Amino acid sequence: MSRKTSRRHLLAASLALGFGMPSILRGGQLRQIDHTEPCMGTLFTIRAYHHDEEAGYRAIAASFARMHALDQILSDYRPGNELDLLCQRAHIEPIRVSDDLYRVLQFALNVSRQTDGAFDVTLGPVVRMWRTARKAQRLPSLEERHAARALTGWQDLAMNVRRRTVHFAKAGMQIDFGGIAKGYAADAAREVLRKYGILRSSVAAGGDVGALHPPPGETSWRVALEDGQNETATVLLRQSSVSTSGDLNQFVELDGVRYSHIVDPSTGIGLTSRRVVSVVAPTGMQCDALSTAFSVMELPRVKAFLKKNPAATTRVVSLAKASPVVWQSQGFPLARD
Ligand code: AMP
Ligand code: MG
């Protein structure tokens, strides 16, 4: 990660958690412990409150170890890791995978099905093509898009629960967890913190924030949403998570059009709708996958989805016009002050 990028992410993570307060505060002897570290190509921050600072740091170190281990398994940047080996061989025979990989893939496949492929965990070949195109600052040709899209399709991926196996119907398929892995990592870190008894804590995995119980003296965690407006909105979290997806940080501008790093599966290139979507739900994995999915889906489809899945709420900010247009679903936990 470049120094510029890492500074930007550090700032984003710091703002998200409202840093700038003294590091030992309110709540009697409870100490505030903050730790930030690079993981999954961005910066992750854990904030925890505990009486024993050393015990707090031990728990945070264990949480980071867990998240780095997940990065090893789930990243599509690591030749020879579990995901890479799976994608190389799963068209030949069903491949048995680790519990973590199985769990994320099963969830991702469900979201792919429920969103009718707006979120598509098999979009790897298209995401790679689009990444190369963004770097080269040129749109891929229709042939390139067609070839990459032919290698995708969540319907072509079969999982066997009993055997814990994954099987592809065709060669060349690639799984991409870029839209879900950070949320899962934040959930896994929360689990570790809970096991260590660090209950007043939060985990910011880039734009995905998961909270356990609130800081001492507070009723919730306050998380600032990055939404491209001057007045940032703040959500209130308590044993819940929030994810934000959009084109604010990762995009390419070609001929005056801004393309997101989120790909529209129907075209094979980045979204141009200029939307920032935040989702609040019980788990980070849900939030992460749904904020990516809702970026692709038209608003009526998002509304229909939420009707069937009331555990999630969302805020959609459209930046397509001169002044932003905001839509929020009922119950979105925005701070009123
Ligand atoms: P996020 O920032 O969580 O919205 O995730 C964006 C990342 O998800 C991209 O960098 C890709 O790795 C991946 N991705 C892009 N488009 C999609 C899509 N339509 N469905 C699933 N994953 C996607
Ligand atoms: Mg996501």
Which tens digits make up the pLDDT trace of 192-210?
A: 999 999 999 999 999 899 9
Q: Check: CB of residue 157 under 8 Å from CB of residue 122.
A: yes
Counting Cβ atoms within 10 Å, is residue 114 exposed (0-12), middle (13-18) or buried (19+)?
Answer: middle
Q: Does residue 247's CB lie within 6 angstroms of at least one atom of ligand 1?
A: no
**C-alpha span between 39 and 312 (Å, rounded):** 26
Q: Does the global pTM surpass 0.85?
A: yes
The residue type found at 91 is H
Residues 137-146: pLDDT tens digits? 999 999 999 9
Distance from the alpha carbon of residue 121 to the mean position of ligand 1, in angstroms = 8
pLDDT at 24: 40
- Ligand with smallest separation from the Cα of 287: 2
114 alpha carbon – ligand 1 mean position (Å): 16
Give the model's pLDDT for residue 44. 98
**Pairing assessment for the beta strands 234-237 and 257-260 based on DSSP bridges:** unpaired
pLDDT for 29 equals 84
CB 178 less than 6 A from any atom of ligand 1: yes
pLDDT of residue 135: 94
pLDDT at 149: 98
Residue 120 CB less than 6 A away from ligand 1 = yes
Mean of all residue pLDDT scores within the chain: 91
Most ligand 1 atoms within 8 A of CB, residue of 261, 290, 295 to mutate: 261
Give the ligand 1 atom nearest the CA of 289. Answer: 3
Encode 45-79: b = buried (16+ Cβ within 10 Å), e = exposed: bbbbbbeeeeebeebbebbbebbeebbebbbbeee
Confidence at residue 1, expressed as pLDDT on a 0 to 100 scale: 34
- Closest atom of ligand 1 relative to the 180 alpha carbon: 3
Q: Which residues of the chain have pLDDT under 70?
A: 1-28, 230-231
- Distance (Å, whole) CA 85 – CA 78: 10
Tokens 């002050």 locate to 337
Rounded to whole angstroms, how far apart are CA atoms 266 and 263? Answer: 9
d(CA 141, CA 195): 51
- Tell me the pLDDT tens digit for each residue of 254-281: 989 999 999 999 999 999 999 999 999 9
Q: H or E stretch including 277?
A: strand 275-281
CA of 176, closest atom in ligand 1:
12
Number of Cβ atoms within 10 Å of the Cβ of 253: 10
pLDDT of residue 226: 79
> pLDDT value at position 323?
87
DSSP code per residue over 158-218: EEETTTTEEEESSTT-----TTTHHHHHHHHHHHHHHHTT--EEEEEETTEEEE-BPPTT-
Element (H, E) at 284: helix 284-296
Candidates 333, 47, 26, 52; CA nearest to 186 is 47
